[in-house]
Structure 1
Amino acid sequence: MKEKNQISGHGLGIMKYAIMILGFMTLGSAEKVGLIDRIHLVPQPQKIVYAIKNIAFPTRISIIGIDSSVAGQKALAQTLAGILGRMEGIVYAFQNAYPYTITFKKEKSIKHLEGYSLVSEENGIAIRYSTDAGAYYAAQTLYQLLAYSYSGVNVLAFNQEPAEEGAPTKKYFPLLTIEDSPAYAVRSVMIDMGRAPFSIPLIKRVIRIMAHLKLNTLHLHLFDDQLMGFKFKNLPLGSENPAAITAGQLKEIVSYARSYHVSVMPEIESWGHVASIIYHYPKLLGAPGMYGGSSFAIGEKTFDLLGKIYDEIIPCLEETTAIHVGLDEAVWTLAPGEENKGLTPTVMVKRIYDILMTLGAKHKKQIIMHLWADHGGRPLPKEIGKKVVIEPWKYRQTDEPKIIAALQQYGGKDKTPLMMGAGASSVHYNGTYEATRFWCREGLKYPNVLGVTICIWETNDIAGKLITMYGGACAAWSPNTLERTDDDPIGERARNMADREMRKWQIIFPDANPDQINADRGPEAYQGRYVWPPRAGVPVAPTALPTPQ
């Protein structure tokens, strides 16, 4: 019995060991992830239909219908050359040299100016578009399809592996059909040059990231209380800021952006947020701003200076352009001697509009004026109510009821054209897209909504807040792609998933590499001061010091 019991105990031990090993094998067995599930297109197309089968990734590719010598197609050619050129073993040519063809063709059947169709079949890919912008956006979708198909296994989790036979050694490409166009005509990103320095390389990188995410307007907040981000030739403004850009550099930015189908809209603060101007013109100080800083005293001397400011910036812009004049968070004060001349905030708006139109005619520019709606609303002169664009703003996740209320107030048929101010406030240190999602979802109900501005306020930490642009681009193009589920009421899981997918995207899109973004940026700044030692707290320029009131 003793021997039998010993044998039985040993057998039981072997059984337990075997069960344990099988358990580890079960726990360690990789999850099979199919090609479709490894591809996360951003922004998500409006309509995508995958076929049942995939094909072997093509190794010899012809690209037909693109002329890199044409200004509107140069960036498109660079996009495809960039991704295909990094793929080992892949040969491509911008001519009919190989059986597998990627064909771009302009067609009237594509009705939306920025729309496109993309059909992937066994012998190649057919892309149809109506404008160069549509072709470019199709190429961005194609870039992601190629990149994730070729190297998507590199971003799988440790317990995942590709489901296809022979993968990852053998690579595959999906057969599918995409029909796509944006929900909103204007998809804007605002960077704050009035609170932080932005180098020309960083601005250009932002443009490339925007264009890849199908964002089409760069809103340059040129100055604010803390910093003057533009160096004027005939005025002292900006001479104190070593990071201020010149007129020549602004022209360079505008031209560079246009090559990526991005328009540039400068914001020229014209009432509040003007301490960096008051630094040089203290007699024009009217009152503190709503949250500190400075507001102009309103009168002829202020209008005269605004005209000189506009006159140096307008020549840098495209023939048809938008200019944002701010007008938010200011305190109304008349300049001495202007008390009985009928000036009101509404009259001020009309005077500023008239100055812009006069200078636009002088420089042969067609200008559309934008302005913030402000906290208490924005009375507009009746005669320009349909000629300007008004923009309410909200940035917090808890602002959903206020966003709905703002759209009910400003949205509707026959009302003033409307932009939606979204993105991240200065206290969203890690960025956010929640308010952008609310705005874009609700804005679809109102015919006068032109689009959305994804704001990145008071910092040059683009890498740290990149989720603002990434998630915002999804909402601006396809508003219903970031919806929460019942078991994720505050969006925590959705945000974590968005962060994870963004990191995968950063791997396949080098322009979004945070190390490269920060290298272009230089020292991080926030609210006009450097953030980290050894210059922590040091102002970027003397205008970032408190303004005497």
Structure 2
Amino acid sequence: MNPRHTRSSLLVGSLLLIAATGVSCFADSGDGGGAASAPAVPALGRVIPAPASVTPHEVPYRITSATPIRVPGGSRKAREVADYLADVLRPSTGYALPVTADTGADGIRLLLADEADLGTEGYRLESGERAVTITARRPAGLFHGVQTLRQLLPPAVEARTARPGPWTVPGGTVRDAPRYAYRGAMLDVARHFFTVDEVKRYIDQLALYKVNTLHLHLSDDQGWRLAVDSWPDLAAKGGATEVGGGKGGYYTKDQYRELVRYAASRYLEVIPEIDMPGHTNAVLTAYPKLNCDGEAREPYTGTKVGFSSLCVPEEITYDFVDDVIRELAELTPGEVIHIGGDEADATPADEYATFMDRAQEVVNRYGKRVMGWHQLAGARPVDGAVIQYWGYDETGDAEREEVVRAAREGAEVVLSPADRAYLDMQYPEVTDIPYLGLEWAGKVDVRRSYDWDPGAYLDGLPADAVLGIEAPLWTETLSTSTELEVMAFPRLPGLAELGWSPRSTHDWDAYRQRLAAQAPRWDVLGIRYHRSPQVSWPASAE
């Protein structure tokens, strides 16, 4: 969780890079685009997230029609990564790129090796005249190395039709491993429903930037999005609405399993969230017996929060919780289930603590680890709980102190400060889709989203208690993939970098250069993005 390289060692490395490439550094400190005043980034390091270590040399590798993809050792998972890479490269290059288990010193080589310093997600990428070799200890590291290789190739490599090339990888060595174990993004499919294909599209975008966790917000006042056999009306009735009165929708269990499988193929773990005891109007619409007065609630299609609550004193509430968590645990190969717990304003404080005690016990009973929004810290977090902090500059000291106290007592913390990490907050300038986003936590520009340190964000929080960061994307105003992308890009890559890269690499002027260089890739991939005036964007994809 701590940086693998000190600030001084990175400075030495940077000076070596400058000497090797003839680059001069004249950085300004302003917020404007000004790419000419920012330090130039050597080609081998022009990727996001910033690698831990880059050592360039002058001899590149060129992919040609004779290039094989070699996976010696017979690992099925490594072969799957190689097949994924071939699927990326074949359409644009037009080359066969056969995947083979044959050993050899040429081509693109994916190697698994027991090198402890690479950890579970790290990799080493070496590029030279004869080969590009990605070495990792685990298949996840190979996959992350492949994402770096993609970014080292021209943006046209992302095309699904043949392009002329050439397909040249800069020469040198990248050594890389993540700062934090948890690098997440949340997608709210409850306020507006998103189809399996739309979620898969977002998963692919997250994978490009080495995000390893997809948190799905599956229930809220406006909709319930997962079939539950023991409570079928949760989906049939609770899933029939969304913000604005649309038709809503839900995932069958098979569809949900497919999302989990697809995410795993991109080395993302899915963390499902069932928000409770508040944010439950869709539940109370489907099952009146979970209301203390026994009366069904009307479907809700607005955006207000804090008005709903499960009936804490009634035992049937815990039958519901047990059934839902049991079925959800059966669908969850990962270790974590998120139980929400935020904005339960309609639940008295003593009842809130009672409910969270019992809900946490259910999660543990089914072999899963509890995660909850940071209000859980004000109750009684169980051993091993993960607290997700979503406060912002105006959050009171008492809430912050509760989180710090819980961390000192053993909880781990995922940081999602709303005025920096919430991707649904509006940009300061109007986008080409002007109705997108909210502003209750303020307007968040690209620099503010990037320019903070998770390890020092909450005063008094032990550094080793920070499990990582997450970028939530709430969807009160978002209903299409295009709208998701405009709000996520260009802020998502910066948040991904905060989770992955050593703190010592953090530099706004260098980062905005690397960010601008991503735009042609997004153009080829068909990703819509906001052209923030803080970045000097290229004029076109080519």
Q: TM-score, normalised by structure 1?
A: 0.70
Question: 1:325 matched to which residue of 2?
Answer: 339
1:313 has 2:328 as partner: yes
- Aligned counterpart, 2:151: 144
Q: Identify the residue that residue 218 of structure 1 maps to in structure 2.
A: 214
Find the residue that maps to 2:115 and give its secondary structure. coil
1:303 maps onto 2:318 in alignment: yes
Displacement of 1:494 in angstroms is 6.9
Q: Secondary structure in 2 aligned to 1:447?
A: helix
What is the deviation of 1:389?
1.1
2:374 matches 1:373: yes
Q: Which string of whole-angstrom CA distances, capped at 9 and with x for unpartnered residues, describes residues 123-176 of structure 1? A: 212221100000111111112212359799xxxxxxxxxxxxxxx987743211
For the 8 Å contact 1:285–1:294, the answer to whether it is kept is no
Q: Which residue of 1 aligns with 2:521?
A: 505
Q: Which moved more, 1:268-277 or 1:431-440?
A: 431-440
Distance 2:273 2:379 in 1: 20
2:453, 2:92 → 1: CA distance? 38
Listed one character per residue, the Cα deviations across residues 376-422 of structure 1 (whole Å, up to 9, x for unaligned) are 952315xx2x3211111136xx5799899569825865531111124
Partner of residue 466, structure 2 = 449
Classify the secondary structure of the residue corresponding to 2:142.
helix
> Cα RMSD over matched residues?
3.8
2:284 counterpart residue number:
278
* Whole-angstrom CA distance in 1 between matches of 2:97 and 2:390: 46
* Residues 255 and 328 of structure 1, relative CA distance in 2, 3 Å threshold: same
8 Å CA contact 1:327–1:372 kept in 2: the answer is yes
Q: Secondary structure at the match of 1:329?
A: coil
Aligned equivalent of 2:36: none
Distance (whole Å) between structure 2 residues aligned to residue 260 and residue 104 of structure 1 = 16
Q: Identity of counterpart residues, as a percentage?
A: 23
Confirm or deny: 8 A CA contact 1:47 1:178 kept in the other structure.
yes
Work out whether residues 72 and 259 of structure 1, in 8 Å CA contact, stay in contact via their aligned partners in 2. no
The structure with the greater share of residues assigned to strand is: 1
What is the 5 A alignment of 1:54-453? Answer: 54-55=59-60, 57-59=62-64, 60-65=66-71, 70-71=76-77, 73-88=79-94, 90=95, 92-95=97-100, 100-111=106-117, 112-148=119-155, 172-235=168-231, 236-240=233-237, 241=240, 242-285=248-291, 291-299=305-313, 300-318=315-333, 320-331=334-345, 333=347, 344-358=351-365, 360=366, 366-374=367-375, 377-380=377-380, 384=382, 386-394=383-391, 409-410=404-405, 415-422=410-417, 423-424=421-422, 426-428=424-426, 429=436, 434-435=448-449, 437-438=451-452, 440-442=454-456, 446-453=463-470
Paired letter, 2:259: I
Residue equivalent to 1:9: none
Distance 1:390 1:135, change over 3 A: same
Partners of 2:88 and 2:157 within 8 A in 1: no
Counterpart of 2:487 in structure 1 is 465
Unpaired segments ≥5 residues, structure 2: 1-38, 241-247, 298-302, 427-435, 438-443, 530-542
Question: CA shift at 1:275, angstroms?
Answer: 0.9
Q: Distance in 2 between matches of 1:99 and 1:149?
A: 27
Q: 1:252-306: CA deviations, max 9, x gaps? A: 1112211221111100112111111111234534699993441223122222222
Aligned 8 A contact 2:204 2:266 in 1: yes
Which residue type is aligned with residue 185 of structure 2?
V
Classify the secondary structure of the residue corresponding to 1:218.
strand
Q: Is the 8 A contact 2:185 2:213 kept in 1?
A: yes
Instruction: Give the TM-score taking structure 2 as reference length.
Output: 0.70
CA contact (8 A) 1:272 1:329 kept: yes
Alpha-carbon distance, 1:64 to partner: 1.4
SS at match of 1:294: coil
8 Å contact kept, 1:254–1:264: yes
Distance 1:58 1:354, change over 3 A: closer
Q: Tell me, yes or no, if the aligned pair for 2:281 and 2:308 is still in contact at 8 Å.
A: yes
Letter in 1 for 2:380: L
**Per the alignment, do residues 410 and 193 of structure 1 end up closer, same or farther by CA in structure 2, a change over 3 Å counting?**
farther
Deviations 1:161-211 (A, max 9, x none): xxxxxxx98774321111100111011110001101110001111122222
Please list every run of 5 or more consecutive structure 1 residues that lacks an aligned counterpart in the other structure.
Answer: 1-32, 153-167, 335-341, 361-365, 486-492, 516-549
Q: Cα–Cα, structure 1 residues 223 and 427, in superposed 2: closer, same or farther, change >3 Å?
A: same
- Aligned partners of 2:45 and 2:54 also within 8 Å: no
